[in-house]
Structure 1
Amino acid sequence: MTVRTCAAVTAILVSAGCGASPPVPAQPGKPVNVKASSMKEGFGTLERLAQAAKQEGALTVIALPHDWVNYGEIIETFADKYGIEVKELEPNASSRRSIDAAAQLKPDVFDLTLDVAVASAGKFAPYRVRGWQDLPDHIKDPSGGWYAAYGGYMSIGYDPRAVPAPASFADLAKPEYKVALDGDPLRSAAAFGGVMAASLQNGTPQPRYGVELFGRLKKAGQLTDPAKANVIVNWDHLNAARSAQDSESWKVTIPRGAPLGAYHVQAISKDAPHPAAARLWQEFLFSDEGQNLLQKGYARPARGEAMIMRGTLDTEQAARLPAVPGPPVLLTIPQTDAARSYLKKEWARSVG
């Protein structure tokens, strides 16, 4: 099953699926192919891949803010481990901006929302990481163009000193809640996700309900900016990271009935200036070390279930992730497209 159809997906974010058979290993001494579709095919060993990457001397990334899923530590660890300079472009760029700017800025790798990755598949160099078989089939392109590294749930972060824990998105209409989204849902993937989480009806997205809720909040003077809010609707890894800094003033909940989940996927640019470094970066992100570093940033590792079975997942950190009410609802590409079209027509009129 691919994300292109993504029908009736009910797999847990950390669930594993069957993958493709591993490529045939390269023979010792075989020339390196820095544009190969797997490590074994192009390099034979991780050591040869690392050597080729170090010879390139650099890796160029885009849209990786340091406070997003622990990317600051991940970048520093990768650079120190392999002696490779990481050039960071536009850390706060959106997925769409990353793709649109690629021809000019020439990043080696991408971290993208699923819809942008699917729409941009022709821009990627196929590559299957060593942990390919651990990734569920519905979160990877069969050809190897893109593949999810981590996922998360839409959540409600709240100040327990000011308001009780909301049991549902409908609770946010109560007058004590001052609510913020993380940006404009017409531009921000996180804000769009917040509206869609509020729209869920028995596991089905109904964009009208989300727009109506935030319209009521706006009319009542309860929709505000994050600095003034006692509730922020955002991805659970961001709310959880804030809660970890000060659990007395910030807590996080994923409401029952609204378990909206999403994945972020990785890809290598087919025009990557540093193709070996790009492949080494993917191997690092999908290694046990890389997946645990993502989880340290409160993301949910895509290889998590396989790592649990092998005893390589940091279970202490896993226990710190926000509790979830059940399997996630994952929007299909058609559902996402339809919802974005609806918001373009109705958000400004209903919410402003």
Structure 2
Amino acid sequence: MNFSRNTAQLLSSVTTRVLAVAASAVLVSGAVACAPPESDNSGAETASGVKAGEATSAQDFGGMEGLVEAARAEGELNVIALPPDWANYGAIIQAFSEKYGIKVNSAQPDASSQDEINAANQQKGRSTAPDVFDLGQAVALANTSMFAPYKVATFDDIPAAFKDPDGTWVNDYGGYISIGFDSAKVPPVTGVDDLLKPEYRGMVALNGDPTQAGAAFSGVLMVALSQGGSVEDIAPGVEFFGKLKQAGNFLPVDPTPATITSGQTPVVIDWNYTNAAQTKSLPTWQIIVPAENPVAGYYYQAINKDAPHPAAARLWQEFLYSDEGQNLFAQGGVRPVRADNMIADGTLDAAVAASMPVVDGPVTVPTPEQTEAAAKYLADNWAAAVG
């Protein structure tokens, strides 16, 4: 997706490109032991005398070689909520692990953004606490006090609108909200209003709880826009899901590749790249991005300030924002945050860049302030609407 946001971070009339091909790969993960011991590597000093848990760039380790050495000494990295078929994370984790010889422990791959924060709080001071986060906007902006500022080597190559100036958080990849459906089980979905039809009774699922998950939050926003709402007024979206519930069409099941393949969730509102990933195992799975009300969003990458493996956490960031990491994201059907600059300098894989379909017209991306207001409305009204 070719995002260009103004200082208010809102897209209004811009040509947007989105990859519609996703890849899945084998996940390299480590077993998590029960009752893990406490672990604290944050006090380990870097080449510059700065504690590893306080390092703000690779230079604090004496450069990339020093960072790699420190990360290998820790030997492990804890990630959470990264399904292998989401944004190509399976391949990314495998590539990182093989490149640096670091064991990657992947916990709760299907967890929500809020689950990531909860895990960090519950496991604080233990060796199994998450080292890094990959969060939806609402959850990320509500928990910035838990993040450690860090600037990767390519930090200046990331547009200002997609990062905190100090590197407390940085957008990593983006996508569109879409509707995926199994054409072998349901009539073709042409728009949001179709979902109220009797033919979709007990079939429409939303990826997660919008008060906790970024995909679901953006899904409600997309529906709100289709019903005459706006980023300042998502009430029509909540009301629509209430109607889906009353009609018996809303399916309170968190969709997964297994529920999609089995036919349990034949209609799913989710990011385009997640829906696109299903076509590999289910050829009858089709995807639409509602053309009149496209909603786009970026995920937020951050380091846990209490990371049990602080050097490995920082090396992970360096990998994600390197040309190699950004190309791996692109192969997973998402728009990596450095895509525009990489296309300009020829470092984005040519075959991937050429495969990007074009969607023209206004695209909505909520600002942090709009997200905060919408999140509050959802917290107050979502459960009553669909409960």
| TM band (smaller chain) | 0.7 to 0.9
**Whole-angstrom distance in 2 between the partners of 1:83 and 1:92:** 25
- The letter for the 2-side match of 1:275 is P
Who is 1:189 aligned against? Answer: 214
How much has 1:229 moved relative to structure 2? 4.1
Matched ranges for 1:135-146 at <5 A? 135-146=158-169
Whether 2:270 is the aligned partner of 1:234: answer yes
Who is 1:328 aligned against? Answer: 363
Conserved 8 A contact 2:229-2:235: no
Change (3 A) 1:233 1:320: farther
How much has 1:256 moved relative to structure 2? 1.1
How much has 1:60 moved relative to structure 2? 2.0
Conserved 8 A contact 2:229-2:236: no
With 191-200 and 115-124 compared, the bigger mean Cα shift is at: 115-124
Matched ranges for 1:199-210 at <5 A? 199-200=224-225, 204-205=230-231, 206-210=233-237
How much has 1:197 moved relative to structure 2? 0.7
**Whole-angstrom distance in 1 between the partners of 2:353 and 2:229:** 25
Conserved 8 A contact 1:14-1:303: no
**Cα deviation per residue 1:15-41 (whole Å; 9 max; x = unaligned)?**
9xxxxxxxxxxxxxx6475443122x2
Who is 1:243 aligned against? Answer: 279
Conserved 8 A contact 1:61-1:89: yes
**Cα deviation per residue 1:114-152 (whole Å; 9 max; x = unaligned)?**
222222222222111122122221221111111011111
With 224-233 and 204-213 compared, the bigger mean Cα shift is at: 224-233
User: Given the alignment, which residue of 249, 253, 258 partners 1:222?
Assistant: 249
**Whole-angstrom distance in 2 between the partners of 1:119 and 1:347:** 18
Whether 2:90 is the aligned partner of 1:72: answer yes
With 74-83 and 58-67 compared, the bigger mean Cα shift is at: 58-67
**Whole-angstrom distance in 2 between the partners of 1:179 and 1:322:** 26
Conserved 8 A contact 2:114-2:213: no
Matched position secondary structure for 1:200 = helix
With 320-329 and 91-100 compared, the bigger mean Cα shift is at: 320-329
- The letter for the 2-side match of 1:244 is K
Who is 1:314 aligned against? Answer: 349
With 136-145 and 59-68 compared, the bigger mean Cα shift is at: 59-68
How much has 1:351 moved relative to structure 2? 3.0
With 281-290 and 112-121 compared, the bigger mean Cα shift is at: 112-121
Change (3 A) 1:317 1:37: same
With 311-320 and 59-68 compared, the bigger mean Cα shift is at: 311-320
Who is 2:114 aligned against? Answer: 96
Change (3 A) 1:318 1:155: farther
Who is 2:196 aligned against? Answer: 173
Whether 2:340 is the aligned partner of 1:296: answer no
Conserved 8 A contact 1:181-1:234: yes
With 291-300 and 221-230 compared, the bigger mean Cα shift is at: 221-230
Q: TM-score, normalised by structure 1?
A: 0.84
How much has 1:344 moved relative to structure 2? 3.7
**Whole-angstrom distance in 1 between the partners of 2:244 and 2:354:** 34
- The letter for the 2-side match of 1:143 is D
How much has 1:281 moved relative to structure 2? 0.6
With 77-86 and 307-316 compared, the bigger mean Cα shift is at: 307-316
**Whole-angstrom distance in 2 between the partners of 1:264 and 1:77:** 21
How much has 1:58 moved relative to structure 2? 1.7
Change (3 A) 1:231 1:101: closer
Conserved 8 A contact 1:254-1:324: no
Q: Gapped runs of 5+ residues in structure 1?
A: 16-29
**Whole-angstrom distance in 1 between the partners of 2:378 and 2:65:** 49
**Cα deviation per residue 1:295-334 (whole Å; 9 max; x = unaligned)?**
2221210111111112121243345566534453112233
Who is 2:298 aligned against? Answer: 263
Who is 2:10 aligned against? Answer: 8
User: Given the alignment, which residue of 59, 69, 74 partners 2:77?
Assistant: 59
Matched position secondary structure for 1:69 = coil
Conserved 8 A contact 1:59-1:84: yes
Conserved 8 A contact 2:17-2:357: no
How much has 1:9 moved relative to structure 2? 4.0
**Whole-angstrom distance in 2 between the partners of 1:96 and 1:237:** 21
Who is 1:213 aligned against? Answer: 240
Change (3 A) 1:268 1:344: closer
With 289-298 and 87-96 compared, the bigger mean Cα shift is at: 87-96
Change (3 A) 1:14 1:110: farther
With 75-84 and 156-165 compared, the bigger mean Cα shift is at: 156-165
With 120-129 and 213-222 compared, the bigger mean Cα shift is at: 213-222
**Cα deviation per residue 1:38-71 (whole Å; 9 max; x = unaligned)?**
22x2234323321221122222222222222121
Matched position secondary structure for 2:78 = strand
Q: Alpha carbon RMSD of aligned pairs, Å?
A: 2.9
How much has 1:182 moved relative to structure 2? 1.8
Whether 2:288 is the aligned partner of 1:253: answer yes
With 268-277 and 169-178 compared, the bigger mean Cα shift is at: 169-178
Change (3 A) 1:12 1:273: farther
**Whole-angstrom distance in 2 between the partners of 1:334 and 1:59:** 33
How much has 1:264 moved relative to structure 2? 1.1
| Aligned residues with identical type, % of pairs | 48
Change (3 A) 1:269 1:286: same
Who is 2:134 aligned against? Answer: 111
* Number of equivalenced pairs: 334
User: Given the alignment, which residue of 20, 31, 48 partners 2:66?
Assistant: 48
**Whole-angstrom distance in 1 between the partners of 2:48 and 2:366:** 43
